[in-house]
Amino acid sequence: MNALWRDVCGQNDYMRFDEVLTRDDGPAIAAELAALRKPARYVIEGVHQDSPQEYWQFRLDVDEPRQSWTLDRSDSPPVGYRDGLLRDEDYPNGSIEETFDGSTTSAPVVRMVLPELMLRWGRGPESFHPILVQHIGRRSILVTFEHREDPATRTTLVINEHDGIARRSMEYGGGTIVTSVRTGAPDEVLPPARFEPLTDWIRSDY
């Protein structure tokens, strides 16, 4: 365990870098990574890719203390969650009641800010669990996940060790890449989202 991790999280028995992990280690690792994040309002931008030919850009505004989020996408109308209601124009009445955590099921990209909500930590029926945690680059933690029924099926997640927000998630041939992260003021009003066409591949900065 390096000095930085001890300073942030303290001594623990779970965050073992460069060691093969078991399914039982997963929930504690999720909790330790969540502890890196300071609850605040975060505005992130990025790209989600479903296949080599299909992708969409996004701007995500997550206010964790107020339990709300808004997701603007380049390919569809905005969706969001506030005051216990998940808002989406596809719903018959425009919204449905939901919990904050449950609302992220409809927009998994929200979990880039809240990676402990991803269904990969070996809790209960979750199919995946962490198998390896590594440092990469200057400030990143790479978590590799293994499928319970097929050890050859793996996914990866890169988390910034300074703010606990995921920067890259790869699974099932697709993935999400976060290109910018900033904190927002509680009462800041964001301008309409604008998405410039992508002209080159996104280079990783770990």
- Model confidence pLDDT, tens digit, residues 50-96: 877 789 999 999 999 999 999 999 999 999 999 999 999 989 999 99
Q: pTM of the entire structure? A: 0.90
How many Cβ atoms are within 10 Å of 160's Cβ, its own excluded? 19
Residue 22 or 6, more confident: 22
Tokens of 37: 């994040």
pLDDT reported for residue 6: 40
Beta bridge partners of 189: none
Tokens of 67: 């339990």
Report the SS3 class of residue 135. strand
